[in-house]
Amino acid sequence: MKILFYDTKIYDKESFNYNLKGKYKNIVIDYLESDISVTTAGLASGYDAVCVFVASNVNAEVIKILSKCKVKLILLRCAGYNNVNLKTAEKYGITVMRVPAYSPEAVAEHAVALALAVNRKIHKAYIKVRENNFSLVGLTGRNFHSKTAGIIGTGKIGTATCKILKGFGMKILAVDDNKNKELDFVTYTDLDTLLKESDLISLHCPLTTETYHLIDKVNIEKMKDGVLLVNTSRGALINTNDLIDGIRDRKFVGVGLDVYEEEDNNVFENREDDILESSITARLLSFPNVIVTSHQGFLTGEALSSIAITTLENSYQFENGTIIDANLVKATV
């Protein structure tokens, strides 16, 4: 099995190379820094599989080129697959596999880190103390204890978040049609009640046509004044322009975003010397009560290792005809 690995970062190479042993020792991986595109897809000639990540644009044109190169397998080293044209992959007989879960706790812990940091103004305190400014003015936060958290989506990551927030002594409300019976300390409710009663709202549902811009002007107005909003799921769950209006209206005590609309050109790239083209991103970054991180919720050693092992296992199973359905991604219509 020969895999061409696109959009390689140093931490990817380390975790994959470390795991190329035992039953995976015959897998050969060549690493490219460039991401997959119509220009770079042709480089996959002579490879059995390509390995791509969450922001790789595996569109119909790219898949046609992969098919000409006789690539048989697209390995997504992530859970999401909205970036792959599944119908075209199916048409050309290319199998698509993913890593459905690697470390829900990694993302949940990052969501809570964002909530705590923006609430206790750690981002401001860090800068102030470095400048010899030991004044506490402007750093007042609020206890999480006895407050209400609203979790939208109690799948793997939402569940892990509920468990952490329970430890803070929070009352937890949740919205999800698939109720998790394990969460006997959580009160499932409707979205309006959750929006109205929560002091902290954290988004953990996938991006679908139903959830696109779930957090918009109408739903922001339903929230408590002084609410804290965290999004580690997908940027387009929130209508950013409506969020910015809400921030300007002083609706939010804080906003923590690991994902945001228009993040695609930024994700995992060093753009220190660039002038930001997106005014939405620049505007978000201008608010003192907003913390933005660059889609790093997954980024722990444990999660990277799990991603590498599952991806190698996927390619091993593909080669040996023993694929587990849960890791296969199929076109729905």
* Nearest residue to the partner ligand NAI, using Cβ: 155
Using CB under 6 A as the binding rule, whether residue 150 contacts ligand NAI is answered as no
Among 149, 157, 230, 257, binds ligand NAI (CB under 6 A): 157
Inter-helix orientation angle 156-167/104-119, to 10°? 50
Among 12, 105, 199, 258, binds ligand NAI (CB under 6 A): 258
- Closest CB to ligand NAI among residues 100, 141: 100
The span of 151-159, 162-170, 222-230, 262-270 binding ligand NAI (CB under 6 A) equals: 151-159
Q: What are phi and psi of 72, to 5 degrees?
A: -110, -10
Using CB under 6 A as the binding rule, whether residue 246 contacts ligand NAI is answered as no
Using CB under 6 A as the binding rule, whether residue 153 contacts ligand NAI is answered as yes
x-marked contacts with ligand NAI along 38-77 as a string, rule CB under 6 A: ----------------------------------------
In the chain, the amino acid numbered 219 is N
Among 55, 58, 73, 79, binds ligand NAI (CB under 6 A): 79
Query: How many residues of this chain interact with ligand NAI, rule: CB under 6 A?
Result: 30
Structure tokens at 95: 């199998």
Q: Is 295 a catalytic residue?
A: yes
Contact 170/148 with Cβ under 8 angstroms?
A: yes
Q: For the CB of residue 261, give the shortest distance to ligand NAI in the complex, in Å.
A: 13
Using CB under 6 A as the binding rule, whether residue 104 contacts ligand NAI is answered as yes
Catalytic residue, chosen from 77, 234, 261, 313, is 234
Q: For the CB of residue 296, give the shortest distance to ligand NAI in the complex, in Å.
A: 6
Using CB under 6 A as the binding rule, the residues of this chain from 269 to 328 that contact ligand NAI are 295, 297-298
With a CB cutoff of 8 Å and minimum separation 6, the contacts of 200 are: 115, 144, 147, 148, 149, 150, 165, 170, 227, 228, 229, 230
Structure tokens at 231: 């999004």
Catalytic residue, chosen from 109, 261, 263, 313, is 263
Q: What are phi and psi of 274, to 5 degrees?
A: -90, 150
Among 135, 140, 178, 270, binds ligand NAI (CB under 6 A): 178
Using CB under 6 A as the binding rule, whether residue 175 contacts ligand NAI is answered as yes
Q: For the CB of residue 247, give the shortest distance to ligand NAI in the complex, in Å.
A: 21
- Closest CB to ligand NAI among residues 141, 206: 206
Using CB under 6 A as the binding rule, whether residue 209 contacts ligand NAI is answered as no
- Closest CB to ligand NAI among residues 251, 295: 295
Using CB under 6 A as the binding rule, whether residue 156 contacts ligand NAI is answered as yes
Q: For the CB of residue 125, give the shortest distance to ligand NAI in the complex, in Å.
A: 24
Active centre residues (catalytic): 234, 263, 295
Contacts with ligand NAI, residue ranges (CB under 6 A): 79-80, 101, 104, 107, 152-158, 175-178, 204-207, 210-211, 232-234, 258-259, 295, 297-298
